[in-house]
Structure 1
């Protein structure tokens, strides 16, 4: 659904994007994670060409945006909705008028605008609040208005630029739940920018980790969890570093209640000391990471764990 290839973008001597490739599949929620200055917001603005890359191509829904002229590009952008960090609502307009604004620009007739606005406000949980002004709303409600406005043009792709960073934890969860529901019910492809690992853990199917204008790691959450040395896994499950030489880190998905340690102790002549670990509920299910020290004949025990689908990493 979104394909960016070889994106470069500089501001004077500052390189914001340095050869970025990005592939977002149709219908998935894809997170771009990184600290401030990593280049993630520039990448997002290049996806809808609010910023034009110095080099590279951007294709959305099968249409190469970087090859379009101004008028064609404006029409293509109707297929891309945008949620802003600080809501970007017009204080002089009511909630309903804010949601209607893109429909007015598109020339939609008044009766159809009113029908569509009412439908969207119901969808985001603000039915009956169309006559309110933005100052009468909480932060979470303002962001719901922003989401309704982003959906006004019936987009195929929704871009979210740090949409929850200005919200408290409980409101953040409610907005993320709304995005998950919209993804499921409308088949929306969602590309979201965030510096919060909890956002990635809660809703994302895939992720790219950015630093210094480059993507350091990307792929599905499930695939990266099973990849030796994955930075994502280390950040989701922080364990003391460096790992003691000879210690073993086990990463497992599926049933977190499975007694893998006791199985190994029963089946093999080893003793197991637990050095640390945790279990997290990710969007795709429960994942655990456990660091242990094995005493005795460890090789057969480790082979046994690998055969049962665990990722086994031995510290050198």
Structure 2
């Protein structure tokens, strides 16, 4: 649904994007994670060409946006909704007036606008609040208005620029739940910019980790947590580094056909083999891709090699400190 190739964006001598490739599948929630200044928001603004890249191409739903003139680009942008970090609501308008604004710009007749606005406010949980002013709403309610406005033109793609960073944790959870529901019910493709790992863990199907204008790592959450030495896995499960020489780090998932947190693989290995096993640290997280755990152990004994082979054959990712992956 979104394909960016070789994106570069310069501001004078400053390089904000340095050869970025991004591939977002139709219907997924794709997170771009990174610290302030990593290039996340610049990448997002290049996707809908609010910022025109210095080099590279952007295709959305098969259409090359970088090849379009202004009039064609404006029409293409109607299929791309955008949610802003600080809501960007018009204080002079009511809630309904804010949601109606893009429909007015598109020339939609008044009766149809009113019907559509009513549907959207119901969809985001603000039915009956159309006559309120933005100052009468909480932060979470303001963001729901922003989401309703972004959906006004029936977009196939929704861009979210740090949409929850100004919200408290409970409200963040509520807004993320809404985005996940819209993704499921409307089939929306959502590209979500964030610096918060909890956002990625809660709703994302795939993720790209950015630093210094480049993507360091990308892929589905399920694949990355199974990749030895994945940065995503290290950040989700921050075990002490460096790992003690010879220690064993096990990564396991709750996917069907693979060992999960409830299966006794670790206790099995102690019963089956002449080894001693001590737990050094670990945790289990419930991700959008399912339950994932990471456990670091000390494993010693005459049958250590056989025990490691058994763990690998059981489907766990096995990393031994000091050994090549």
Pick the TM interval, shorter chain: over 0.9
- In the alignment, the residues of structure 2 paired with residue 298 and residue 34 of structure 1 have an alpha-carbon distance, to the nearest angstrom, of 39
- In the alignment, the residues of structure 2 paired with residue 271 and residue 258 of structure 1 have an alpha-carbon distance, to the nearest angstrom, of 19
Find the counterpart in structure 1 of residue 155 from structure 2. Answer: 155
1:145 Cα deviation (Å)? 0.0
- In the alignment, the residues of structure 2 paired with residue 271 and residue 259 of structure 1 have an alpha-carbon distance, to the nearest angstrom, of 16
- In the alignment, the residues of structure 2 paired with residue 40 and residue 142 of structure 1 have an alpha-carbon distance, to the nearest angstrom, of 23
Aligned residues: 316
1:13 Cα deviation (Å)? 1.4
Q: Secondary structure at the match of 1:179?
A: helix
Find the counterpart in structure 2 of residue 60 from structure 1. Answer: 60
Find the counterpart in structure 2 of residue 305 from structure 1. Answer: 311
Find the counterpart in structure 1 of residue 241 from structure 2. Answer: 241
Given candidates 248, 261, 265, the residue that maps to 2:266 is 261
1:298 Cα deviation (Å)? 1.2
Q: Secondary structure at the match of 1:304?
A: helix
2:280 is the counterpart of 1:284: no
Find the counterpart in structure 1 of residue 43 from structure 2. Answer: 43
Give me the TM-score of the superposition, normalised by structure 2.
0.97
1:147-168 C-alpha deviation (Å, 9 max, x unpaired)? 0000000000000000000000
Moved over 6 A (4+): none
1:190-243 C-alpha deviation (Å, 9 max, x unpaired)? 000000000000000000000000000000000001111100000000000000
- In the alignment, the residues of structure 1 paired with residue 168 and residue 125 of structure 2 have an alpha-carbon distance, to the nearest angstrom, of 18
1:4-30 C-alpha deviation (Å, 9 max, x unpaired)? 000000111111000000000000000
1:238-267 C-alpha deviation (Å, 9 max, x unpaired)? 000000010000000013111222100000
1:93-141 C-alpha deviation (Å, 9 max, x unpaired)? 0000000000000000000000000000000000000000000000000
1:20-44 C-alpha deviation (Å, 9 max, x unpaired)? 0000000000000000000000000
Q: Secondary structure at the match of 1:155?
A: coil
2:2 is the counterpart of 1:2: yes
- In the alignment, the residues of structure 2 paired with residue 50 and residue 150 of structure 1 have an alpha-carbon distance, to the nearest angstrom, of 15
Find the counterpart in structure 2 of residue 85 from structure 1. Answer: 85
What does residue range 67-82 of structure 1 map to in structure 2 within 5 Å?
A: 67-82=67-82
Find the counterpart in structure 1 of residue 24 from structure 2. Answer: 24
Q: Secondary structure at the match of 1:265?
A: helix
2:219 is the counterpart of 1:213: no
- In the alignment, the residues of structure 2 paired with residue 15 and residue 118 of structure 1 have an alpha-carbon distance, to the nearest angstrom, of 44
Q: Structure 1: any 5+ residue segments left out of the alignment?
A: none
- In the alignment, the residues of structure 2 paired with residue 119 and residue 34 of structure 1 have an alpha-carbon distance, to the nearest angstrom, of 35
Q: Secondary structure at the match of 1:93?
A: coil
Q: Structure 2: any 5+ residue segments left out of the alignment?
A: 255-259
2:273 is the counterpart of 1:272: no
2:177 is the counterpart of 1:171: no
What is the root-mean-square deviation in Å for CA atoms of aligned residues?
0.4
- In the alignment, the residues of structure 1 paired with residue 300 and residue 319 of structure 2 have an alpha-carbon distance, to the nearest angstrom, of 16
